Amino acid sequence: MNSQVMTFWELMTKQTIHIPIIQRDYAQGRSDKQARTVRTQFIRDLADHLETNRPLVLDFIYGSVTPTKEFLPLDGQQRLTTLFLLHWYLGVKEGRPEVTTLSRFSYETRASSREFCQALVTMAPTLQPVLGQAPISTLICDSPQFYRSWEQDLTIQSMLVVLDTIDDVFRERPVTFAQLMDNDACPIRFHFIDLAVYGMEDTLYIKMNARGKALTPFEHFKAHIQGFAQAEEMKGKLESGFTHQFMHRLDGIWTDLFWQHRNDYHEIDQQMMAFIRTVLINHRATKSIDREDSALQRLLAEDELWFSDFMVEDAIDAEALFFLAKSLNGFGQPVSPTDVLDVGQLFERVISQETSETRLTYQDRVQFYGICLAFQHDLTSEQMAEWVRLLHNLSVNTIYNAMSDYSSSIRGMEQIKQSLPEIADRFLTQDTPIRGFSTTQVQEERLKIRLRHRDVSWKTLVERAEHHPYFQGQIGFLLEFAEIEDAFVLDMTCDWDTVLDATYRAGFTTYLKKSEVLFGENGLQIDRSLFTRALLTQGYYALKSNRNDCFLIDGFDRDISWKRLLRDKGDKRTYVKDLLDLLDLNQVEGSLQHLIKNHQVTDWYRHMIDYAGILETAIGKKRFFRETWDGRRLLLKEKRTSSYSYEYEMYALYEALRQHVNPNHLTIVDSAGEAKEKNVTVERNGQTCTVTYDHKTDHYYIDQYPNGTIMMKTHEDVVQYLTRRVEV
């Protein structure tokens, strides 16, 4: 396929240019930061090359020329429109009568867009005398030929913004309209391809629209891919015949793949578009080096993306098309099932994206990229299983707080993509770090690879632990408890003697068995109150969550679940080891009850061990607790202290008194706000005793109306006093 190198003026004088109705709005006038940067740089490049007469080739522009000499561009709409506006501006600036030739350029997307293009041509003579007195967009909008209703047209809005940028850049530049008209000398050119000459598929595309039959967005996208791929072939960036084979498969075996996954809610076109979109966004993420990458943010956020969006944001190139083809081929072949990551379910999630509720998480995108990356190689089933295991463990156990965390993982995999066939060896090479994932998890994977390669029994044991549904491949706490982690630091080959090996294996096995008893699929599978109070006998395990402490919940919340306690190294996790060391597998609940009953804790949180109701009744679902700036300890119903809460000392007193006092004579008072009084009242024969706690003096006060107030030092003193004085 041959292309012609030509100028905009040459193209327009040979045939009219009609932006077809199925094209998107003109978008180079968007207001986001990325668009402003791209727009300004592009227009400055045009000015610089015209001023210095240095050639600037604007890549390929392709579409079909109809028998009536109308050019209908499939790709190049944005560049052509900007060139139209530049020609118009310089023509107005110099008062050139040739501006009337620009009436051969038209938009068919909306009647208002078409009428505006024609109005620009007719109002040109009236604008030349006032040029520079105000922004050119203002002059245009103040013209009698401008209709206020046009302000709602997105294409017109964008054109006005671009014209203001052109005005800013070109106003003082010594660039002339004549330079643009000189087809031999004009430095601004592009490669032009008339696809109709070659009988390519987009002739059907044009005929369908001529009949008034609407194309789906995916059919539109396919036409652009075909033209772009053919252009890349001509540049030598794709091998000869790639486009033909790609399009043949897209309409053949790849369509069959999506047909097998069709459902009542998604058309095949939507599913294929979701797949391609995900591949291209991941490809763009491989190039992301800016934490606030606005281009990647837009691709991730917008529901409707056109081919030109991917082009503008540098998300599609020859490499992306080749990667896409390999990925589609890979998912079209049977994939051996794995115990840790269901590739089929991941594929379903990718192709079912439609709303914000069904959008992929960053973890999904990372896993999808990792699977697609594997399809770029001819991996054996063993190599594939090893990579999928590592991919799962790394992605599930890396925290994705922001887009930059996601793109970092994508770039990290991009750096090791050539090592996938020997990925285990790559992980063991210390001088080539694995980036983009939790460094702690990467180090854990190195250790587990050594253990799995040591012998079959270690491999079986490690995989048993990894496959636990709550641990999800993260078993660093077991390796630490069994002292294997420390041994690995000293000898990274794990080539210890058989005696030590037996010791490490026995320790690991014991901690694993005890952990399997305690934790189930979603967290604790034994009585939470027993476990919580028994764990407190070993130390104050609550973890920080912003300004609150949290006594942890089931599930996989990154900040306040049991999963975090097992994940994070430190003293808090050591309390779990201490508890496991004291746990009797033959009588689990009995050993926990024994710890609670015989504890020797004297610190302030001892009441939480003694009274089950404190952490099971008084506290909210998120199990938040806060010690305020003035020393108050609050059992929070919600996240903030402005909501209702109980005072810890008062609720502990309430729980103690409940064992001795008639419930009808006992009341615990909560309140909203940390400063509001929270107390316990006890009634006896018409007399009310109200107990409060002063955090500043660390004393309890018992107001015995009308008999005055007494002060006491300890919780035990108050309980003894009130239970002696009050009738049961």
> Tens of pLDDT along 385-406?
999 999 999 999 999 999 999 9
Please, what's the b/e burial string for 640-672 (b: 16 or more CB within 10 A of its CB; e: otherwise)?
A: ebeebbbbbbbbbbbbbbeeebeeebbebbbee
pLDDT for res 388: 94
Q: How far is CA 302 from CA 154, 177, 298, in A?
A: 16, 38, 6
Listing DSSP states for 367-418 in one string gives HHHHHHHHTTS---HHHHHHHHHHHHHHHHTS---SHHHHHHHHHHHHHTGG
Most confident of 25-34, 219-228, 639-648: 639-648
Cα-based angle 460, 461, 466 (whole degrees, multiple of 5)? 95
238-277 pLDDT tens trace: 999 999 899 989 888 998 888 888 766 557 888 999 999 9
Q: How many CB atoms lie within 10 A of CB 41?
A: 10
Amino acid in position 274: A
Assign a CATH topology to domain 648-725. SHC Adaptor Protein (3.30.505)
- Put residue 7 in one of left, alpha, beta given phi > 0 → left and psi -120 to 50 → alpha: beta
Lowest-confidence region among 47-51, 57-61, 422-426, 583-587: 57-61
- Tokens read off for 67: 């028998």
- Tokens read off for 514: 């005890």
User: Could you tell me the pLDDT band of residue 541, with boundaries at 50, 70 and 90?
Assistant: very high
SS3 category, 25:
coil
pLDDT for res 203: 47
Q: How many CB atoms lie within 10 A of CB 107?
A: 28
d(CA 258, CA 372): 16
Strands of the 56-65 sheet, one edge to the other: 4-6, 188-194, 56-65, 70-75, 16-19, 105-107
Amino acid in position 520: G
Residues composing the chain: 728
Q: φ, ψ for residue 59 (rounded to 5)?
A: 65, -155
pLDDT for res 75: 80
Lowest-confidence region among 208-222, 463-477, 572-586: 208-222
Listing DSSP states for 622-680 in one string gives T-EEEE-TTS-EEEESSSSTTSEEEEHHHHHHHHHHHTTS-GGGEEE--EESTTS---E
Beta partners for residue 689, in sequence order: 682, 704
d(CA 639, CA 358): 28
Sign of CA dihedral 169, 173, 178, 184: negative
Give the pLDDT mean for 484-513: 95
pLDDT for res 451: 96
Beta partners for residue 666, in sequence order: 682
pLDDT for res 212: 41
Amino acid in position 259: W
d(CA 95, CA 127): 9
Check residue 360 and report its DSSP letter. P
pLDDT for res 291: 85
Q: What percent of the chain has pLDDT over 70?
A: 94
Give yes or no for residue 358 having a pLDDT over 90.
no
Check residue 319 and report its DSSP letter. H
Reply yes or no: is the peptide bond before residue 67 cis, omega within 30 of 0: no
401-450 pLDDT tens trace: 999 999 999 999 999 999 999 999 998 887 778 899 999 999 999 999 99
Domain boundaries, the chain: 4-215, 226-437, 452-509, 528-641, 648-725
pLDDT for res 200: 54
User: Could you tell me the pLDDT band of residue 336, with boundaries at 50, 70 and 90?
Assistant: low
6-48 pLDDT tens trace: 999 999 999 999 988 767 788 888 877 767 877 888 898 899 8
List the alpha helices (DSSP H) in 60-216: 77-94, 111-127, 136-141, 154-170, 177-181, 202-210
Give yes or no for residue 572 having a pLDDT over 90.
yes
169-223 pLDDT tens trace: 999 899 999 999 998 999 999 888 887 765 554 444 444 444 444 456 777 788 7
d(CA 95, CA 270): 49
Listing DSSP states for 680-723 in one string gives EEEEETTEEEEEEEETTTTEEEEEEETS-EEEES-HHHHHHHHH
Listing DSSP states for 444-475 in one string gives HHHHHHHHHHH-HHHHHHHHHHHT-TTTTT--
- Tokens read off for 184: 């031999």
d(CA 383, CA 402): 31
Type and span of the H or E element at 6: strand 4-6
Cα-based angle 334, 335, 338 (whole degrees, multiple of 5)? 145
Q: How many CB atoms lie within 10 A of CB 630?
A: 9
- Put residue 603 in one of left, alpha, beta given phi > 0 → left and psi -120 to 50 → alpha: beta
In 3-state terms the chain splits into helix, strand, coil percentages (rounded to 5) of 55, 10, 35
CA 136 from centroid of its chain's CA atoms:
41
